[in-house]
Structure 1
Amino acid sequence: MSLALNRQRIARSFADPIAATPLETDARCARRRVLTGNAPIKIRRMSPSHDDKRRKVHEMYTGKQQYKCFGSILTSLEIRGFRGVADLTLDFQSPITALSGLNGTGKSTIAQLACCGYRRLPHDWGRHYVKDYFPVSAVDPQPFSPDARVIYSYSDPKEIYPQQVTVRRAKVEWSGYKRQPQRASYYIGLNWFIPKIERRDFSVYAARNLSMGHSRPFDSAVRSHVGRILGMAYDQLEFIEVRHGNKKADLATATKGSSRYSENHMGFGEGRTLYLVDAMEGAPEKSLFVLEEPETALHGDAQVRFAQYLVDVVYRRRHQVVLTTHSSAILGELGRTSVVYLGRQADGALSATTGLSTYQVDSYLLKRHQGRATICVEDEFAKTLLNEIIRLCDRHLLAGISFLIVGGGEQIPGAVEVLRNAGVRSVGVCDGDMPEKVRCATAMAALPGAQAPEKEIFSDTEVKDNFKQAPYLVDIAEVLASVADHHEYAKALAAHTSTNVAAITTEACRSYVSTRSPNEFSDLVSFLKKELSDRR
């Protein structure tokens, strides 16, 4: 091979964006210059995708990388006696934590307490105290219980035990702040950006008499991020100093083509996004940002892109972000460990569940009975058995799922294929006695046992013993001895006990499942989680 051809081949291999790495050592660069005859080679660096960044952020938060990447990041909160949060422990399993749930489940309470977890940095403008968010007044004499406290846990470089600090009320004042680590903390509530037009700022009522001072352009990265989120092509974003008498302020302005306008003529979503992105890009690295419902005034696509920006800014600047949200568009762009669903139990206690899929959160929030994920089964008996198995192993998996009764086991793979081609997340679960070509088809699994579920259930010793007790008082073997078709088992028992088929089916399946360990069904449930999840 000629020297010229060899140089071209080497140049092409080095210019390959997949082979190229962002970090190039001097030695490697020198070697390239020698091999290619000192010809300059332009190496195109591939920007990581959103999924890549999301996975990388998770890796950065794991094990030994956690403190190295994020410093003394909040790893958990133990909250006792604040408003409606009587007793809750919340583990932060990601540097981005999205708190979702119905109104009144304590999202804002948790977010505000998180913001009180750090001492201010030197020369910082201030810090957040518990008293700032939980003021005592004649109207609200007890926003917290007498023994209220919050225990903050932080990542520790020794990686043995996390650093813990308890903040509690000592007579009148709150104590414990001095032991907290230092970090810049920002609480971005709905009141953080109020359009000047709504608060009758002097830049509005004295608009004709304003004098303008110096201008400060926004960083080009801020302009790029804001434009991407909102889908706008800005030519310029800047702060312009305006004065009226002894008053002065900075007014954000935007230029698009021949049009120039100030924040007094921006919508709420545009203005809030501009100020928020500017804060996140200008804050010290490894800051804490607490965001209240950032989806406010943003359309659906902008919410998606904003969530992608949060992943990006955490990836680049190592911030910790805690946000409250009701937006499935935002939740869908975050990793599984970033989503925390807050729910009230029957006794009023608060629970926090991490890792729900977006459609499951939607089901809780909107009370949907028909979900956006479908499990195809043969008949009502298979549906009931699978329902009880899921309820035992992971009841949250039931949220947002609908069952489709196909009517024949061999038709289930075809039904799954049709649904998937239509864009519906779906799987099939056939009876255990189906042939291998059905059980091993794409997105298929089988119920436990090697025979039909009716035979499996009604031949089980625990189920037989249960039906011998009140209120049924029946010998299953005796009743079913003359029934040839296993599909008729539940009907025969219902007739014998003067009850309905659904009651017999539910009782039998529940009795069968409840006497077994969840480990017996772990493979089946893991399959369902993997196939029906909307997270990558």
Structure 2
Amino acid sequence: MPAPTESKLTDAWNAARHGNGGWPKFLSGIRIAGLRGWDAELVEFRYPVVAIAGVNGAGKSTVLKAAAAAYRAPENGAAATYYPDDFFPKTPWEEVAGVSLIYDIRLGDQSRTITVRKPSSRWRGAPERVERATYFLDISRIQPANTQIGYGRTAQEVISRGTSEPLSADQVAQLSRTLGRKYEYARIERGAGKQVGVLSQNGVEYSNFHQGAGEDSILDLIALISAIPDYSLVVIDEVEASLHPQAQRVLITEFLDLAHRKRLQIIFSTHSPFVLEQLPSVARMFIAVDRDSKRKVLYGVSSDFALNLMDNERHEELDIYCEDHQAEYLIERILAVGAADKPDLLQRLRITPVGPASTVISLATIAAADKLPRKSVCVVDAEQSPGDNYMVLPGTQAPERELLEAFTDAEWTAVAERLGRYAGDVLDAKDAAMQIPNHHAWIGEIARLIGGTMRKSKVWEAVADVWVRDILGDEQAKKWCEPIVAAVPAHDP
């Protein structure tokens, strides 16, 4: 479920986008060629806060560093100008040449293309970059201060030559919410080009020489992002590093709020499903790498799908990818009926919702070329047009319409029995719910009208069970399951 601050950001983004009151400075996309295996693939940023997921080596850090080098810093400001050579230097082991970074930059209602390239020995095009405050935080930010050589001397230098910058009450509240602990105050001590974070909890003051890595990194992060200019670009590598799941969720909640209030653009990498769950689908991106090291950028992926491809501890023999949890349960029930003579089938596969039909179809192209880690079948909802590389759920309409509009009072009575409610109450609830134009809301409205402890998922499961048994039937279920049964690898005799 997205974070509670997501709706305000989404509303503002949909209403203003790049116009007045929106995000007049925005990095819309990067095309990367000739760098660390990238072959002119386009990476688009479709929302003010974007998470990039993928396995190690997929190219997430390359995208982040390329994004950080998109702009030059304003002359009067604290932001630094990053150059491609800062991130992609020539070394004794790497010859960086034949590289191009093509940026799609939004400036209000104008769109500009800026190309920074390195044909041979020198980067070209950097002076033409647009001015924008940019902040890049790499993974080194989580290194605890007490692991750094000479940290005691650093503390003395900061105390003797430094200045103290207390965090505001709002910033301290953000810190407390993120880490789930009550802090009385916090400040940053700066001096000699170094900084030390100081916290107070339960009347005890301690610096980041004695803080955990999570406290240290979040203190610095909140102090930075809360103070940066509006319309800035913030790029963060492994945003969840050193944070427990609750802190990860709250941090993303704060990010969405800051992006809304300050019109920030925040791009970060992550391996965490807890982070991905807090974001709307438009904010989630997955970089898939096939067995030939070719990359494909998938947009709108679910956290389940991202975790599925990033998790090596898998024993299933077939992946089934579908649009959402309603389709997931419906597929499971069709398989239970249509492949009843193969009782181990459901144990040998995994059904994973991945996002909208466009994402499923993109994934089907990769699966058809046998480029995914495991054999895979992709299934879209029934209102989608048939295709060569994917299956379509039974019927011709969206699942909610296909199932509910097929039911007579007899089927609704069977649903009521499964739910343990009076048939009349269920019939009244479905009559009212199906007056709503948005069919996606029907099941939730039925659950609400039935009342009590009734859950949306429970209603959908009862409806799917009855539809598969009484409407679809054994023969149609068996026929629909045939491609999936055939796709499961045969056991050795």
Please give the TM-score of this superposition, normalised by the length of structure 1.
0.62
2:70 equivalent to 1:70: no
Q: Per-residue deviation at 1:504? A: 10
**Worse-superposed segment, 178-187 or 316-325:** 178-187
8 A Cα contact 2:65 2:87, kept in partner: yes
Q: 1:153 aligns with which of 104, 112, 129?
A: 104
Which residue is equivalent to 2:450?
none
Which residue is equivalent to 1:112?
65
Q: Per-residue deviation at 1:134? A: 0.7
8 A Cα contact 1:253 1:263, kept in partner: yes
CA gap of 1:233–1:170, structure 2 versus 1, over 3 A, is same
Partner amino acid for 1:167?
Answer: V
Which residue is equivalent to 2:281?
336
Q: What SS does the aligned partner of 1:164 have?
A: strand
Q: Per-residue deviation at 1:167? A: 1.1
Which residue is equivalent to 1:94?
47
Which residue is equivalent to 2:490?
none
* Count of residue correspondences: 388
Which residue is equivalent to 1:57?
9
Q: Per-residue deviation at 1:260? A: 1.0
Which residue is equivalent to 1:366?
311
Q: Per-residue deviation at 1:353? A: 0.8
Which residue is equivalent to 1:196?
145
Q: Per-residue deviation at 1:90? A: 1.4
> CA separation in 1, counterparts of 2:329 and 2:137?
38
CA gap of 1:201–1:312, structure 2 versus 1, over 3 A, is farther
Q: Per-residue deviation at 1:444? A: 7.3
**Deviation string for 1:51-94 (max 9, x for gaps)?**
56312322333475324311120011111111022231111110
2:82 equivalent to 1:133: no
> CA separation in 1, counterparts of 2:106 and 2:146?
43
**Deviation string for 1:322-365 (max 9, x for gaps)?**
10000111110011100001101343210111111111212111
Q: Per-residue deviation at 1:231? A: 1.1
Which residue is equivalent to 1:514?
none
**Deviation string for 1:415-443 (max 9, x for gaps)?**
9969x9898968969xxxxxxxxxxx646
> CA separation in 2, counterparts of 1:300 and 1:99?
18
Q: 2:168 aligns with which of 219, 222, 228?
A: 219
- Let me know the Cα RMSD of the aligned residues: 4.3
Q: What SS does the aligned partner of 2:239 have?
A: coil
Which residue is equivalent to 2:116?
167
Partner amino acid for 1:137?
Answer: T
Which residue is equivalent to 1:266?
211
CA gap of 1:308–1:320, structure 2 versus 1, over 3 A, is same
Please give the TM-score of this superposition, normalised by the length of structure 2.
0.67
Q: Per-residue deviation at 1:294? A: 1.6
CA gap of 1:297–1:128, structure 2 versus 1, over 3 A, is same
CA gap of 1:209–1:377, structure 2 versus 1, over 3 A, is closer
8 A Cα contact 1:416 1:426, kept in partner: no
Which residue is equivalent to 2:220?
275
8 A Cα contact 1:186 1:288, kept in partner: yes
Q: 2:271 aligns with which of 317, 320, 326?
A: 326
Partner amino acid for 1:117?
Answer: A
Q: Which of these two proteins has the greater Rg computed from alpha carbons?
A: 1
> CA separation in 1, counterparts of 2:377 and 2:454?
21
CA gap of 1:295–1:379, structure 2 versus 1, over 3 A, is closer
Q: Which runs of 5+ in 2 are unaligned?
A: 340-344, 365-375, 380-406, 421-446, 448-452, 488-493
How is 1:407-486 mapped onto 2 (pairs within 5 angstroms)? 442=463, 452=473, 454=475
8 A Cα contact 1:344 1:351, kept in partner: yes
CA gap of 1:240–1:136, structure 2 versus 1, over 3 A, is closer
8 A Cα contact 1:195 1:263, kept in partner: yes
> CA separation in 1, counterparts of 2:102 and 2:459?
43
Q: Which runs of 5+ in 1 are unaligned?
A: 1-48, 402-408, 430-440, 458-486, 491-500, 508-536
> CA separation in 2, counterparts of 1:319 and 1:209?
31
CA gap of 1:505–1:362, structure 2 versus 1, over 3 A, is closer
Q: Per-residue deviation at 1:503? A: 7.7
8 A Cα contact 1:377 1:412, kept in partner: no
Q: Per-residue deviation at 1:196? A: 2.6
